[in-house]
Amino acid sequence: MGMTMIQLADRLRIEADAYTFMEELRWPDGIAVCPHCDNHGATYIKPLNGKSRATRTGTQSQRRVWRCLNCRKQFSVITGTMMHGTKIPLRVWCLCIFELVSSKNGVAAREIERKYGVCCRTAWHMMHRIREAMKDDQLQTMRGVVIADETWIGGLPKWKKGHKYGQGGQGVTDKTPVLTLIDKERGESRSVVVPDVTGATLRKVISQQVDMANSVLHTDEGQQYRQMGKEFIAHETVNHKAEEWVRYTRDAFVSTNAAEGFFAQLKRSIDGTHHRVSKEHLPRYLAEFDYRYNTRKITDTERMAKLMTQTAGKRLSYKRASAPKGRKV
């Protein structure tokens, strides 16, 4: 059984407790790994009492410090992670991470601001740093039965005369197209923001994620999938215009309901929790929902522990996060 928010808060009484807790998550075998040289093995050096120490400026710090046995450099459990150099208490980080991985509908920056007493910019930056860490850089190529479907994220469309592109092929819209691929056997989703939903664009994305020659493609009857479907073992479709949602074959059933369900949760959460997101930051929100979808069968504590194993090198400065200036979608 996973840990609850009350149990987590009860455990994190002081900052030293938060550092110890993070060390257990990031180094589950009890051996510290140096972020500078990746050496397995380090010596704990301070604070000697395990709780607090005086810094050179005379202030008290509860940051637990290790020294690598190989390169002799000092580090802590948050060195090189999205929390590197943070001035926010690590206890706040732990609670915010737990909230984000356990909240099915996501958490708004304004809610973090209100709950934990940080300013809005700090809360916004924290959430995006956690979302950045949720991106899995070591995904395996999808193989087997793969469901592909696209949707549009954004508010009310602004129709423009003279264009033929848009949702359902009707005009043009300011909404942002998103392609989602779901590995039916592993129950894994991957969502990508795409510039358009033409066959050439979708094929480029799908070919990067899927072993097309050894997979079966399930889609709706969109024209953009017909040509690339010939590169798969088989291309099965369902006709949504005829209200066909599931079609049974000799070996299995064909449906895009898994992708439709993912989109339903994504859109409800954006509308209800965030209200609107910018096109530039949408990939991070997609990474967040992909992460929770792919880890839906494990507990909240296990989901948090898994996230801590992929935080190395996931640093996102406020300048880089806030630099893009674009229209809202």
* Mean pLDDT (the chain, rounded): 89
Residues 6+ apart with CB under 8 A from 174: 154, 155, 157, 158, 327, 329
The answer to pTM > 0.75 is yes
Query: Rounded to 5 degrees, what are φ and ψ at 271?
Result: -65, -45
Q: What pLDDT shows up at residue 173?
A: 67
3-state secondary structure of 191: strand
Q: Which of 158, 172, 187 is nearest to 293 (CA)?
A: 187
Domains of the chain plus CATH, in order, are: 5-134 (no CATH), 142-262 (3.30.420)
DSSP state of 273: I
Contact between residue 74 and residue 35 where contact means Cβ atoms under 8 Å apart: no
Cα 291 to Cα 101: distance, rounded to the nearest angstrom: 8
Q: Does position 1 have pLDDT exceeding 70, yes or no? A: no
Instruction: List pLDDT tens digits, range 186-200.
Output: 999 999 999 999 999
Cα 24 to Cα 186: distance, rounded to the nearest angstrom: 28
pLDDT band at 158 (very low <50, low <70, confident <90, very high): low
pLDDT band at 159 (very low <50, low <70, confident <90, very high): low
Instruction: List pLDDT tens digits, range 293-325.
Output: 999 999 999 999 999 988 888 888 888 888 755
pLDDT band at 10 (very low <50, low <70, confident <90, very high): very high
Q: Which of 80, 118, 83 is nearest to 97 (CA)?
A: 83
For residue 228, what are the CA distances in angstroms to 140, 186, 212, 267, 283? 21, 23, 9, 28, 25
Max CA pair span of the chain: 75
pLDDT band at 235 (very low <50, low <70, confident <90, very high): very high
Q: Does position 218 have pLDDT exceeding 80, yes or no? A: yes
3-state secondary structure of 328: strand
Residues 6+ apart with CB under 8 A from 72: none
